[in-house]
Amino acid sequence: MCCSIIGIISSKNVVAPALVDSLKRMEYRGYDSVGVATLATTNRISVRKGIGKVNQVNSSLNLTEMEGFVGIGHSRWATHGGVTDYNAHPHPCCTEDIAVVHNGIIENYLPLKEELVKKGHRFRSETDTEVIAHLLEDHYNASRDIKAAMLETVSQLEGSYAFVAMFANGSLACARLDEPLVIGVSDNAYYASSDVLGFLQYTDQAMFLDNRDIAIIDRDGAHIFTFAGEPVTRGVTKVAWELADVNKGEFAHYTIKEIFEQRTSVKAATYQEEHKIKVFCDTIAAAGNIIVTGSGTSYHTSLITSMAGCRALKKRFEPVMASEFKYNMDSIDKDTVVLAISQSGETADVLSATKLARAAGAKILSIVNVSTSSLARAADVSLAINSGPEIGVAATKSFTGQVSLAYSVLDRISGGRIGFDRDAVSDKITKMLAGSAAIERLVNVTMPKVNDIYLLGRSIHFPIALEGALKMKELAYVHAEGIAAGELKHGPLALMDKNAVVFVLNPDDKTYGDTLSSAHEVKTRGAKIIGISNVSNDIYDAMIEIPKMENELLYPLVEVIPLQLFSYYLALRNNVDPDFPRNLAKSVTVK
Ligand code: G6P
């Protein structure tokens, strides 16, 4: 699961309102069911949980009214077990003296469950998580020692996980293996959370747990151990408060707010500390073999970075999807640099790719938005795009931020071969956004209701065709396909008829003539054509004008804007909540 977890121990305040507030702030990570457990004054753990988003479950179960100074909370994005009230977290053990919230996957939960059932444990859910609660119960009953119970439990678990367990004696115990877990520390409370956003409204002091760390938190403080039981200290880091600024402002949704933030985020991405960007650039310049990897939108940035890198540095860059990485390891050696790109810095496939590459001798660079993320910490050098929190599940500002930063790195190494000028790009994006009403009209008035949208582009426009299609799928649930225009005749042409709508990415660069021919081929089959170009042509049934760019590599930064807007307005037309598309999570921390 890619879920949000939070645990709070407070010496002063009832924790339920803060637990619910934290879950709301982290809802973008997962949101099909929600639950809270608190330790009531009677020393009984009480659990309330149900299907729906945080506000829905809170209004039906009054989560915020639960009593207690210690509690845990969870919002879920299901992987093991359907979306049911029982499968929602927290999961109590048989005696209900321990309850657990968990993010990740316990791969060996079935044999563990069988063994526990044989011992008489009663399971109430179909989740992998519930084995943690029963294992803890088993070991705690034997030793009455939380540390011993935690050590025994983690030694039996296989997979990747972060979990927080609440004990009826008022302690919280948590552990992490390949899933994020961070502890917030304030004067009168401790917070254990999957994301700093879970506590940043209360404290900016954070302790990042390392992989294979266990923390036991009680009124005396937080005690940290390795999985081998050795006590360790983890320093307290101050986290940027700006991250806490997550509201929609004047906008109806986070997604549209974040689309408009690109006016400035493309600039913010390029402000970097000199010593870091220098080492980053030197590492790329010295590399024999460069592999660029990412998932989803960040993979599209990897495609663009690779094409632009080859052109600017006259050197081979190879884009590899993070989920395919492990099958393509043969060329990786100590002369290899892997550039891993990720908004969250927590995507499991990306983290696993960097781990494998590191083991094969490669150096790791990363571009992230969350500068405290696991990927940032796993890299030799990591640069952050400084976009601020991206809450909408579909990546928007992080994409243009990643491309802007990659371009400024390549410009720095190549002496300006791309010609990325942050102010000029920001101005052009601002102008594109000023035309948002025209895109809204295109969606609501001009466009017929369609089931299939195709996007054609060649060269550097092809990744934008893929990215535009991804936005339409994610946001509006419309089937959309990005096609390399030259491939049309090798198959997709068979799909073109009067029911198809085709976006043609066609500014007047060296792809122009060929892409125009492709447009003619689909027009002849009756498809409706929407041109995205700086030059008009009668063949387009509708046209979205983009500005002329100095270098064709810069077009992706403006072409993507109307496609993001189009997908957003199409989501609204299709009555879909653009911020929280069904079945998707912002941060996919499972493989
Ligand atoms: C999820 C999101 C996508 C995102 C991808 C990679 O699938 O729904 O929008 O592009 O993860 O995320 P990352 O944080 O690694 O960029």
Mean pLDDT in residue range 464-490: 95
Catalytic sites, residue numbers: 3, 586
If one residue of 588, 590, 591 were mutated to test the ligand 1 pocket, choosing by the most ligand atoms within 8 A of its CB, it would be: 588
344 lines ligand 1 (CB under 6 A): yes
589 lines ligand 1 (CB under 6 A): no
516-535 residue pLDDT tens:
999 999 999 999 999 999 99
393 lines ligand 1 (CB under 6 A): yes
Residue 467's pLDDT band, with cuts at 50, 70 and 90, is very high
In this predicted structure, what is the pLDDT of residue 186?
A: 95
> What DSSP designation does 487 have?
G
Helix, coil or strand: residue 451: coil
In this predicted structure, what is the pLDDT of residue 197?
A: 85
**Ligand 1 mean position, distance from CA 296 (Å):** 5
Strand 221-226, strand 213-218: pairing: antiparallel
**Ligand 1 mean position, distance from CA 583 (Å):** 13
Mean pLDDT in residue range 294-317: 97
Give yes or no for a contact between 5 and 192, defined as CB atoms under 8 angstroms apart.
Answer: yes
10 lines ligand 1 (CB under 6 A): no
What burial letters (b/e) apply to 117-127, b meaning 16+ CB within 10 Å? Answer: eeeebebebeb
Does the pLDDT of residue 40 top 90, yes or no? no
Domains of the chain: residue spans and CATH: 4-238 (3.60.20.10), 241-434 (3.40.50.10490), 436-585 (3.40.50.10490)
What percent of the chain is predicted at pLDDT more than 90? 77
Does the pLDDT of residue 543 top 80, yes or no? yes
Beta-carbon contacts of 72 under 8 Å, excluding residues fewer than 6 positions away, are: 5, 6, 7, 8, 19, 36, 37, 90, 99, 100, 101, 164, 165, 166, 172
Give yes or no for a contact between 316 and 342, defined as CB atoms under 8 angstroms apart.
Answer: no
Chain position carrying tokens 């949704």: 253
- Give the lowest-confidence range in 231-235, 449-453, 546-550, 584-588: 584-588
Q: Tell me the pTM.
A: 0.75
**Ligand 1 mean position, distance from CA 205 (Å):** 27
Average pLDDT, the chain: 92
If one residue of 77, 295, 305 were mutated to test the ligand 1 pocket, choosing by the most ligand atoms within 8 A of its CB, it would be: 295
Task: Sort residue 26 into left (φ over 0), alpha (ψ -120 to 50) or beta.
Answer: alpha
Mean pLDDT in residue range 271-278: 92
Residue 316's pLDDT band, with cuts at 50, 70 and 90, is very high
Protein residue with its CA nearest to atom 5 in ligand 1: 296
Evaluate the CA torsion angle 215, 194, 322, 403 in order and state its sign: negative
Residue 116's pLDDT band, with cuts at 50, 70 and 90, is very high
> What DSSP designation does 209 have?
P
346-404 residue pLDDT tens:
999 999 999 999 999 999 999 999 888 899 999 999 999 988 888 888 999 999 999 99
Residue 1's pLDDT band, with cuts at 50, 70 and 90, is very low
Helix, coil or strand: residue 559: helix
Q: Which helix (H) or strand (E) holds 112?
A: helix 109-118
Q: In the chain, how many H helices and how many E strands?
A: 17, 25
Does the pLDDT of residue 508 top 90, yes or no? yes
- Give the lowest-confidence range in 346-350, 510-514, 542-546, 578-582: 578-582
**Amino acid present at 3:** C
Atom of ligand 1 nearest to the CA of 350: 15
Residue-level length of the chain = 591
Mean pLDDT in residue range 547-561: 96
Mean pLDDT in residue range 143-157: 97
Give the span between the Cα atoms of 306 and 292, in whole angstroms: 7
Count other Cβ atoms within 10 Å, centred on residue 342.
33
Strand 542-545, strand 528-533: pairing: parallel
171 lines ligand 1 (CB under 6 A): no
Does the pLDDT of residue 591 top 70, yes or no? no
472 lines ligand 1 (CB under 6 A): no
Give the span between the Cα atoms of 181 and 5, in whole angstroms: 9
Find residue 482's DSSP bridge partners.
455
Does the pLDDT of residue 168 top 60, yes or no? yes
81-104 residue pLDDT tens:
788 999 999 999 999 999 999 998
Instruction: Please measure the distance between the N-terminal and C-terminal CA atoms of the chain and give it in whole angstroms.
Output: 10
323 lines ligand 1 (CB under 6 A): no
Ordered DSSP codes for 407-448: HHHHHHHHTSSS---HHHHHHHHHHHHHTHHHHHHIIIIISP
In this predicted structure, what is the pLDDT of residue 243?
A: 55
Nearest alpha carbon to residue 74 among 63, 82, 66, 65: 63
Does the pLDDT of residue 441 top 50, yes or no? yes
Report in angstroms the alpha-carbon separations of 323 from 111, 211, 349, 588: 27, 21, 5, 12
